[in-house]
Chains A and B, each alone.
Chain A
Amino acid sequence: MLQIYGSMATPEPENDKPMTDKILEVIDLKKYFPIKQGVFSRTVNNVKAVDGVDFSIIPGETLGLVGESGCGKTTLGRTILRLQEPTAGKIIFENQDICKLNNADMRILRREMQIIFQDPYGSLNPRMTVGDIIGEPFDIHGLAAGEKRQVNVHELLEVVGLKADHITRYPHEFSGGQRQRIVIARGLALRPKLIICDESVSALDVSIQAQILNLLKTLQKQFNLTYLFIAHDLSVVKHISDRIAVMYLGKLVEIARKDELYNSPCHPYTKALLSAIPIPRPGARKSDFLLEGDVPSPVDPPHGCRFHTRCPVMEDLCRQTAPELVDIGDRHFCACHKQKAAGH
C-alpha cells in the first residue's frame, strides 16, 4: 500500500505528460450504451450518454456539473470512477490514466476517490448496522479491525454530526438527512482526495439540503477534499461550487468560474438555465429567455451544434458544424459559434 503512495509522489518515467497541478483530468471521455436488437443481439445503435467530454479539476476546488435530466451527468460521474467502463477517452487521476489500471490496482486506487449517491435510502444496506456500514471500508481494505476500527467509526460519526450510540442502529431508524450523513461518513472513511457528489442533496428537503451542503463545505476545508458536484439545480450548485460546468446532451457547453458564469453566461443554454431559476420575490419579472421543447434523443443527437434545435439565436453555421469548447478569456470555456462571431 505504501508503494502506491511512493509511486504517486514521483511521476512515472514512461508518462510523457508533465506533472500538473490537476487532481483529475478527463480527456475526450465517451460512454456509449449499445442498443441491441434481433435474434443475434446485433448492436443497431448507441445511446451516446457521454460523448466527448474534457475538463479538469484542481485539488481543493469544487466543480459543479449541471444539466437537464438525461444529459449524461450521472453517467459521467460513474464512468470517472470506473463503475461503468468508458467507451473511449482518458481519465487521468493524479497523473495516472486509471482506465489502464487492472482490477487489483483499481481497487487500491478506489481509496482515493469516492461517490455519494442521490438516494440516501437506497445507498445504505438495510441489513447492516450503522457501525458496520461506516466500518466496511476498513474491512474491505484491511485497514483497521477491532478496537481501532471502533475508534475510527466513532470519530467519523462525530465528524458528520451523529452520536456515538447511533453505531448499533439500523438505517431505517434514521431520517433522510441523517442517512446522508452516514453515507458521507462512509465516503470519508478512507480519507479520499476526490469525492463525486451525484445529486447528493436532491432527495432532501430544502432546510436539510442547506445543512448537508454546509457540512460538505466544512469537511472540504477540514480534509482538503476536491468535489465534483453533480446537480440539476443551479441554485444548489451556486452555493458550493468554485467553478461550474454546464452539460447538454453528452457534451460540455460551458465551463467558468462561478461568478463569471452567473454574471456573464456565454452559451444560450446556460442563459436559459439561469433564467429558469425561480425568483423568490412576488411580482418579480420573469426573464423571457425560456427553453421550449424537449432534449433530443442521445441515440441520434442533432448534427452540428447539439443545441441548435432549441437555440433562440441559431443560424446556418450551427446546423453544419459543431462548435469547439474554446477559451474566451480567463479560463472561461464556451462552445458556441455566436460567441466567436461576437469577437469575445
Chain B
Amino acid sequence: MKKGHKQKSQSFYALAFRRFKKNKLALWGVFVLLSLIASAIFAPLIAPYDPYMSVRNDKGMLDILSPPSSAHFLGTDSVGRDVASRLIYAGRVSLSVGVVAVSISIVIGTVLGSLAGFFGRWVDSVIMRGVDVVICFPVLFLIITISTLLKPSIYTTMIVIGLVSWTNTARLVRGEILKVREFEFVESSRALGARNGRIIFRHILPNIMAPIVVQATLQTAQAILIEASLSFLGVGVQQPIPSWGNMLNEAMSLTILAFKPMIWFSPGIAIVITVLSINFIGDGLRDALDPKLGNN
C-alpha cells in the first residue's frame, strides 16, 4: 500500500455488495425488476389508453376482443379495454400487494420470532405452538375464507397474505436468534450493563438481517403468486381494478383460451418474469450475504 493512502474500511454490507455485483443473473433480476417498478410508477405516462375505459372503433362500436394491432399491440379484452394498458396498471397492484404483504409478514414474523428466541421458556412455547397452529391450516382455503368474510379488495388481499405468511419468518428468526444469542459479544454487552432492548436491537438483529432480507425477497415472489391465485379465483383484487391474476381469470372462457391467447398469455408471462427476477435477486442476495456458502 502506498504511504499516506488511507485504507478504506469495508463494512459487511460493502463486501456483500461487491460479491452481489459479480452475480450476473441477480443483476439481470435487478434490471428487470427496476424496469417493472418504473413502469408501475409511471403507468399513467406509459400506458397508451385508460385501463378502465372500453375503446370504440371508428364505426362507434365497442372494440371487443380485437387481435393485436398497431393501435392495441396486445389487443383488447372481452369488454374492449386495452390489454397492454391494463397489464401496466396491473403491475402496480401486484408489486404493491407483494411489498405491503411481505412488510406485514416480516414485521410480525421478526417480532414474534425474536420474542420466542430471546426470552425462551414459556414465551417460546406459546409462540411456537401458535406458529404450528397457523401452519396447520390449508393456506389457500384460509385466505379465501378470510377475504370473503372481510369483503374482497386490494387492501384485504394485502393484509390477508401478510397475516398467513409470517410463520416461516418467525421460525427463521427464532433459529437465528438462538444461534447469535450464544455469541460472547452478547454476553460482553450484558456484562457491561446493557438492557435487553439494546442487546436485541444493537447486537442480535443486525447480525440476523442477512437471512431476513433474503427471506423477505423470496417471500415477495410468493406473495405476488398468492395474489395472482386469489384474484384468479375472484376473491382477491376485484374488477375493474386490473391485476395480473384477475386478467388471467378471462382464460376461463374456452373461446378466449383457444383463440385469443394474448389476453391470458401476457399477464401469465408478466407474473413469470416478475417472480423469476425476484427469485434471482433473492438467490444472489443469499450468496452475497452468506460467504460461507461458497459459490464465488
- Let me know if A123 and B193 touch, CB within 8 A: no
CB distance from B270 to the nearest CB of A (A): 38
Q: Which of B19-27, B80-88, B184-192 contacts A (4 or more CB under 8 A)?
A: B184-192
Task: Give the docked Cα–Cα distance between A128 and B188 (Å).
Answer: 14
- Let me know if A122 and B207 touch, CB within 8 A: no
- Let me know if A123 and B191 touch, CB within 8 A: no
Task: Give the docked Cα–Cα distance between A311 and B29 (Å).
Answer: 69
- Let me know if B183 and A122 touch, CB within 8 A: yes
Cβ 8 A contact of A81, one of B183, B191, B194, B195:
B191
Residue of A nearest to B191 (CB): A115
B255 interfacial contact with A, CB 8 Å: no
The verdict on A114 contacting B191 (CB below 8 Å), with A125-B203, A127-B12, A165-B6 known, is yes
B253 interfacial contact with A, CB 8 Å: no
Instruction: Please name all residues of chain B whose beta carbon is closer than 8 Å to the beta carbon of A170 when the two chains form the complex.
Output: 9-12
B206 interfacial contact with A, CB 8 Å: yes
The verdict on A136 contacting B189 (CB below 8 Å), with A119-B184, A127-B12, A170-B11 known, is yes
Residue of B nearest to A125 (CB): B185
Instruction: Please name all residues of chain B whose beta carbon is closer than 8 Å to the beta carbon of A115 when the two chains form the complex.
Output: 187-188, 191
Cβ 8 A contact of A129, one of B9, B187, B191, B194:
B9
A126 interfacial contact with B, CB 8 Å: yes
Instruction: Please name all residues of chain B whose beta carbon is closer than 8 Å to the beta carbon of A165 when the two chains form the complex.
Output: 6
- Let me know if A122 and B184 touch, CB within 8 A: yes
- Let me know if B188 and A141 touch, CB within 8 A: no
Task: Give the docked Cα–Cα distance between A180 and B61 (Å).
Answer: 82
Instruction: Please name all residues of chain A whose beta carbon is closer than 8 Å to the beta carbon of B191 when the two chains form the complex.
Output: 81, 83, 110, 114-115
The verdict on A117 contacting B9 (CB below 8 Å), with A140-B194, A141-B193 known, is no
- Let me know if B184 and A140 touch, CB within 8 A: no
A301 interfacial contact with B, CB 8 Å: no
The verdict on A108 contacting B193 (CB below 8 Å), with A127-B207, A165-B6 known, is yes
Give the residues from 187 to 240 in chain B that come closer than 8 angstroms, CB to CB, to chain A.
187-195, 198, 202-203, 206-207
- Let me know if A173 and B188 touch, CB within 8 A: no
A124 interfacial contact with B, CB 8 Å: yes
Query: Which interface residue of B6, B11, B12 has the most chain A CB atoms within 10 A?
Result: B11
Query: Which interface residue of B6, B9, B195 has the most chain A CB atoms within 10 A?
Result: B9
Give the residues from 5 to 46 in chain B that come closer than 8 angstroms, CB to CB, to chain A.
6, 9-12
- Let me know if B193 and A110 touch, CB within 8 A: yes
CB distance from B142 to the nearest CB of A (A): 31
Instruction: Please name all residues of chain B whose beta carbon is closer than 8 Å to the beta carbon of A141 when the two chains form the complex.
Output: 193
Task: Give the docked Cα–Cα distance between A106 and B9 (Å).
Answer: 37
- Let me know if A173 and B183 touch, CB within 8 A: no
CB distance from A268 to the nearest CB of B (A): 35
Task: Give the docked Cα–Cα distance between A124 and B203 (Å).
Answer: 10
Task: Give the docked Cα–Cα distance between A183 and B6 (Å).
Answer: 24
Residue of B nearest to A109 (CB): B193
A243 interfacial contact with B, CB 8 Å: no
The verdict on A83 contacting B187 (CB below 8 Å), with A125-B203, A129-B9, A169-B9 known, is yes
The verdict on A140 contacting B207 (CB below 8 Å), with A111-B193, A123-B185, A173-B10 known, is no
Q: How large is the interface on A (under 10, 10 to 19, 20 to 34, 35 or more residues)?
A: 20 to 34
A89 interfacial contact with B, CB 8 Å: no
- Let me know if A168 and B9 touch, CB within 8 A: yes
Instruction: Please name all residues of chain A whose beta carbon is closer than 8 Å to the beta carbon of B185 when the two chains form the complex.
Output: 122-125
The verdict on A137 contacting B192 (CB below 8 Å), with A127-B12, A127-B207, A129-B9 known, is yes
Task: Give the docked Cα–Cα distance between A110 and B193 (Å).
Answer: 6
Instruction: Please name all residues of chain A whose beta carbon is closer than 8 Å to the beta carbon of B194 when the two chains form the complex.
Output: 136, 140
Cβ 8 A contact of B188, one of A111, A117, A168, A172:
A117
Give the residues from 247 to 296 in chain B that come closer than 8 angstroms, CB to CB, to chain A.
none
Task: Give the docked Cα–Cα distance between A122 and B189 (Å).
Answer: 12
Residue of B nearest to A116 (CB): B188
Residue of A nearest to B188 (CB): A123
CB distance from A111 to the nearest CB of B (A): 7
Task: Give the docked Cα–Cα distance between A115 and B10 (Å).
Answer: 29
Cβ 8 A contact of A117, one of B187, B198, B203:
B187
29 A-B residue contacts at CB 8 Å? A78-B187, A83-B191, A108-B193, A110-B192, A110-B193, A117-B187, A117-B188, A118-B184, A119-B184, A123-B183, A123-B184, A123-B187, A123-B188, A124-B185, A125-B202, A125-B203, A126-B12, A128-B206, A129-B11, A136-B194, A137-B193, A140-B192, A140-B198, A165-B6, A168-B9, A169-B9, A170-B12, A172-B12, A183-B188
Given contacts A108-B193, A127-B206, A165-B6, 15 further A-B contacts (CB under 8 A): A78-B187, A81-B191, A83-B190, A115-B188, A125-B185, A125-B203, A125-B206, A129-B9, A136-B192, A136-B202, A137-B193, A140-B192, A140-B193, A170-B10, A173-B10
Contact surface of B with A, Cβ cutoff 8 Å: 6, 9-12, 183-185, 187-195, 198, 202-203, 206-207
Contact surface of A with B, Cβ cutoff 8 Å: 78, 81, 83, 106-108, 110-111, 114-115, 117-119, 122-129, 136-137, 140-141, 165, 168-170, 172-173, 183, 186, 190
